[in-house]
């Protein structure tokens, strides 16, 4: 079934086939991402106006919308061209004025004839003690008052589209909506008390009060669930597809793993042990592993990842670990080297820097199987890189690697198990939306010996005290990060901020003790400055946020974040995680410029109160919304029209288990509910999923 089902044809016709929509309006609607009648069905009213009739404007909550029957009195045309045209009217209790600007007097005489009664509805405000209704929304004869709805839905608009056009077009789209077979599990429908699809649409477009606009309304919840369910069906199909392509069982013997565990100065945390067990079990099965390892800064992901790599080696194969940048790849190498030595396995690195004979030698060794574990940047997936027997690919820093790239990995014919690691704690609803095709292990305990980081808020007025403190720490042999704000959007101002701070600190601390890293430096200079700091040659590293991801300097114990109030919560949490990596107590100073905005204060206080990345991520989501938390553009996050990932995370979880259960019982979607689900995928434009069904 790779063609759109016929009942949906009218919903995917051109927009200008709808009543009142010409080519110009259709073009304007594109700004609301409305391209077909189907999109109008899921563009629901976002508010409503109470237009129930009252006997008088007296006692009404002003300024506000009032609907009232009036007797029409005298007309007062404007004295000059720009003046207002006024009509005196009287309701049951009082008199007020209808006011018009740039109006034609003859037209107003016709629709508001003196001495007659009309029903008017519009916003009433008091000006100098006189109630006025400026440009009423509705003026109708008394016998047509029924045409004014008691509760009028208000649609989102854009330049060139009026409320009237939008309402009329939405009604036109509704008239085309077919009655479709049910794709939701009947038990779920009963439990929630949901209407069927067509009724839900009609109810959602014709709310009778403010409750009808709330996301909690049964009709809206049902439509939100439809969006979540279609999205989770796509992820579940991708998961099923990957599992259908056979994996290779890699059974651990435990010989190498035991050597590493014995060499460690501490025992793994419970969370680490559970994650290792999950991964070992996945790798031993004949289905391909596709797992996300989510752990907060410093939760010990490296050890878990290395155990997975060792499982591949114990089974006679190879493992690869990929990082997004050269610096991170080298850091993984440093972190893994001692572990590899204790296990007696051959570990090598391959990045874009490897050239000529050296690169060639590595490629030969890799193809022969002499290199057991390879660390590198995405250079490890170039055409000429061949493994003798690749069993597992580990990808670090997930959000640069969306669902599409994960599928591309499989398309390379690499049947390897996949483990993705992220140090960004992701709120549960986003994790389900973004990684619903994966199994998830969470590391939510800190390894023993990690000291908590003391976090304090300091006003920029006290900068001299902070500089003195940094100097004392440097004299004491400790190291300090000083992060400069990304001022406006211009690169130049960031540079000036970082370079100014660098000069001031260098003047105080002396030449050679302060390094500088910013985004505009040539990569080699940047690497050199980082390397000098890592080696302890410089005491203070002044940086823009380029240090956010992953650099490990155990001797760094102070993190100063300047103008911390303009950073996002997740970013502040990541930056703070750069200190507290050794055995000394560490401090993070959040320098802010007073007065703090409410949001700024809440972010800094949240950070001061907790080090739990998951708590921080949930607060961040609450404050900013999903698109901002992981940057919608590059996250591959779905855009939902009705559903709201923040407030309806619970629905997303139900949709995930339901989608997986449906595919479990009907893998080819050939049963009654399976066929209905196929129609839903077409309706929701889930082209990826449709391709997967036709391939599978």
Please state the length of the chain: 696
pLDDT greater than 90 at residue 341:
yes
- Kind of pairing between the strands at 138-141 and 117-127: antiparallel
Confidence of residue 484 (pLDDT cuts 50, 70, 90): confident
- Map residue 517 onto helix, strand or coil: strand
pLDDT greater than 70 at residue 406:
no
Tell me, what's the pLDDT at 547? 61
Confidence of residue 404 (pLDDT cuts 50, 70, 90): low
Locus of tokens 């079990």: 281
Confidence of residue 179 (pLDDT cuts 50, 70, 90): very high
Query: DSSP string of 322-356?
Result: E-SSHHHHHHHHHHHHHHHHHHT--EEEE-TT--H
Q: Cα–Cα distances in Å, from 447 out to 196, 268, 279, 444, 585?
A: 50, 7, 19, 10, 15
- Percentage of the chain lying above the pLDDT 90 cut: 43
What is the C-alpha to C-alpha distance for residues 69 and 140, in angstroms, rounded to an integer?
10
Query: Mean pLDDT, to the nearest integer, of 46-59?
Result: 89
pLDDT greater than 50 at residue 633:
no
Query: Mean pLDDT, to the nearest integer, of 166-172?
Result: 93
Tell me, what's the pLDDT at 429? 66
Query: Mean pLDDT, to the nearest integer, of 567-590?
Result: 84
Locus of tokens 């660098």: 502
Query: Mean pLDDT, to the nearest integer, of 542-549?
Result: 66
Domain range summary for the chain, segments of one domain joined by +: 6-48+157-214, 52-148, 223-245+643-695, 255-443, 453-610
What is the C-alpha to C-alpha distance for residues 425 and 573, in angstroms, rounded to an integer?
10
**Mean pLDDT of all residues belonging to the chain:** 85
Hey, do 255-443 and 453-610 end up sharing a CATH topology, with the first three levels equal? yes
pLDDT greater than 80 at residue 461:
yes
pLDDT greater than 60 at residue 531:
yes
| Three-class DSSP labels, 32-85 | HCCCCHHHHHCCCCCEEEECCEECCCCCCCCCEEEEEEEEEEEEECCCCCCCEE
Tell me, what's the pLDDT at 521? 79
Tell me, what's the pLDDT at 546? 57
Tell me, what's the pLDDT at 634? 36
Nearest alpha carbon to residue 587 among 484, 449, 468, 451: 451
Highest mean pLDDT of the ranges 464-478, 548-562, 578-592: 464-478
Confidence of residue 345 (pLDDT cuts 50, 70, 90): very high
What is the C-alpha to C-alpha distance for residues 247 and 417, in angstroms, rounded to an integer?
7
pLDDT greater than 50 at residue 458:
yes
Domain spanning 453-610: CATH superfamily: P-loop containing nucleotide triphosphate hydrolases (3.40.50.300)
Q: Cα–Cα distances in Å, from 436 out to 233, 293, 443, 667?
A: 9, 13, 18, 17
Specify whether domain 255-443 bears CATH 3.40.50.300.
Answer: yes
Least confident of 87-91, 347-351, 550-554: 550-554
Whether the CB-CB separation of 183 and 680 falls below 8 Å is answered with yes
Nearest alpha carbon to residue 338 among 552, 170, 502: 552
pLDDT greater than 80 at residue 52:
yes
Confidence of residue 44 (pLDDT cuts 50, 70, 90): very high
Whether the CB-CB separation of 463 and 501 falls below 8 Å is answered with no
Tell me, what's the pLDDT at 622? 66
Query: Mean pLDDT, to the nearest integer, of 390-404?
Result: 71
Tell me, what's the pLDDT at 450? 72
What is the C-alpha to C-alpha distance for residues 380 and 516, in angstroms, rounded to an integer?
30
Tell me, what's the pLDDT at 571? 80
Overall pTM > 0.75: no
Query: Mean pLDDT, to the nearest integer, of 550-576?
Result: 83
pLDDT greater at residue 134 or residue 489 = 134
Tell me, what's the pLDDT at 629? 43
Specify whether domain 52-148 bears CATH 2.40.50.140.
Answer: yes
Residue 681: CB atoms within 10 Å: 24
What is the C-alpha to C-alpha distance for residues 232 and 660, in angstroms, rounded to an integer?
8
- Percentage of the chain lying above the pLDDT 70 cut: 90
pLDDT greater than 70 at residue 495:
no
Give the tens place of pLDDT for each residue, 413-423. 467 888 988 87
What is the C-alpha to C-alpha distance for residues 65 and 251, in angstroms, rounded to an integer?
71
Tell me which H or E stretch contains 125.
strand 117-127
Give the tens place of pLDDT for each residue, 237-283. 887 877 777 778 899 999 999 999 999 888 899 999 999 999 999 99
Confidence of residue 631 (pLDDT cuts 50, 70, 90): very low
Query: Mean pLDDT, to the nearest integer, of 73-93?
Result: 89
Highest mean pLDDT of the ranges 53-62, 356-365, 553-562: 356-365
Give the tens place of pLDDT for each residue, 634-688. 344 567 889 887 778 789 889 999 999 999 999 989 999 999 999 999 999 887 6
Query: DSSP string of 209-234?
Result: SGGGGSTTSHHHHHHHHHHHHHHHHH
Measure CA of the first residue to CA of the last residue in the chain; give whole Å.
11
Query: Mean pLDDT, to the nearest integer, of 500-522?
Result: 84
């Amino acid at each position: 079934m790779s063609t759109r089902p016929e009942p949906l044809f009218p919903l995917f016709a051109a927009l200008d086939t709808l009543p009142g929509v010409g080519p110009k309006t259709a073009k304007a609607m594109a700004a609301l991402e409305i391209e077909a009648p189907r999109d109008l069905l899921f563009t629901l009213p976002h508010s409503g106006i109470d237009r129930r009739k009252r006997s008088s404007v007296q006692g009404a909550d002003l300024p506000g919308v009032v609907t009232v029957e009036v007797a029409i009195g005298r007309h007062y045309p404007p004295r000059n061209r720009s003046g207002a045209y006024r009509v005196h009217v009287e309701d049951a209790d009082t008199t007020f004025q209808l006011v018009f600007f740039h109006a034609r007097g003859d037209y107003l005489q016709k629709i508001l004839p003196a001495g007659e009664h009309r029903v008017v509805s519009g916003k009433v405000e008091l000006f100098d003690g006189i109630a006025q209704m400026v440009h009423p929304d509705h003026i109708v004869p008394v016998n047509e008052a029924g045409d004014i709805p008691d509760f009028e839905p208000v649609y989102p608009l854009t330049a060139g589209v009026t409320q009237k056009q939008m309402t009329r077009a939405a009604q036109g789209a509704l008239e085309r909506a077919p009655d479709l077979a049910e794709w939701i599990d009947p038990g779920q429908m009963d439990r929630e008390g949901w209407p069927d699809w067509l009724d839900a649409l009609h109810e959602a477009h014709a709310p009778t009060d403010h409750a009808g606009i709330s996301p909690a309304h049964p009709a809206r919840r049902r439509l939100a669930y439809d969006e979540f369910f279609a999205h989770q069906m796509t992820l579940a199909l991708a998961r099923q597809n990957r599992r259908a392509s056979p994996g290779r069982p890699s059974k651990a013997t435990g010989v190498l793993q035991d050597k590493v565990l014995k060499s460690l100065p501490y025992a793994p945390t419970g969370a680490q042990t559970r994650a290792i067990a999950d991964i070992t079990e996945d790798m031993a099965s004949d289905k391909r592993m596709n797992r996300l390892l989510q752990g907060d800064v410093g939760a010990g992901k490296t050890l878990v990842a290395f155990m997975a790599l060792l499982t591949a080696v114990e089974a006679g194969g190879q493992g690869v670990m990929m990082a997004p940048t050269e610096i991170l790849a080298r850091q993984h190498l440093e972190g893994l080297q001692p572990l590899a030595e204790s296990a007696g396995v051959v570990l090598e690195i391959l990045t874009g820097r490897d050239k000529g004979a050296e690169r060639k030698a590595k490629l030969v060794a890799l193809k022969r199987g002499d290199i057991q574990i390879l660390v590198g940047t995405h250079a490890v997936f170039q055409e000429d890189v061949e493994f003798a027997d690749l069993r597992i690919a580990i990808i670090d820093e997930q959000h640069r690697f969306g669902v599409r790239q994960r599928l591309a990995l499989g398309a390379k014919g690499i049947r390897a198990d996949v483990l993705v690691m992220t140090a960004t704690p992701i709120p549960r609803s986003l994790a389900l939306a973004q990684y619903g095709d994966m199994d998830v292990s969470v590391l939510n305990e800190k390894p023993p010996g990690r000291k908590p980081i003391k976090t304090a808020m300091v006003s920029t007025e006290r900068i001299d005290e902070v500089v003195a403190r940094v100097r004392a720490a440097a004299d004491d042999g400790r190291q300090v990060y000083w992060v400069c704000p990304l001022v406006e959007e211009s690169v130049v101002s960031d540079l000036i901020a970082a370079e100014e701070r660098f000069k001031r600190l260098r003047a105080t601390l002396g030449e050679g003790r302060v390094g500088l890293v910013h985004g505009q430096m040539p990569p080699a200079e940047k690497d050199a400055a980082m390397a000098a700091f890592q080696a302890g040659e410089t005491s203070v590293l002044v940086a823009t946020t380029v240090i956010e991801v992953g650099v490990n300097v155990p001797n760094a114990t102070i993190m100063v974040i300047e103008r911390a109030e303009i950073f996002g919560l997740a970013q502040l949490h990541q930056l703070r995680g750069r200190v507290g990596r050794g055995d000394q107590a560490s401090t993070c100073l959040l320098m802010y410029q007073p007065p703090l905005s409410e949001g700024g204060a809440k972010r800094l206080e949240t950070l001061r109160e907790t080090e739990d990345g998951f708590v921080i991520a949930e607060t961040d989501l609450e404050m900013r919304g999903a698109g901002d938390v992981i940057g919608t553009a590059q996250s591959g996050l779905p855009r939902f029209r009705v559903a709201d990932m923040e407030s309806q995370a619970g629905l997303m979880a139900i949709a995930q288990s339901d989608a997986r259960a449906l595919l479990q019982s009907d893998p080819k979607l050939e049963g009654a509910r399976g066929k209905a689900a196929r129609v839903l995928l077409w309706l929701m434009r889930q082209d990826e999923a449709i391709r997967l069904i036709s391939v599978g």
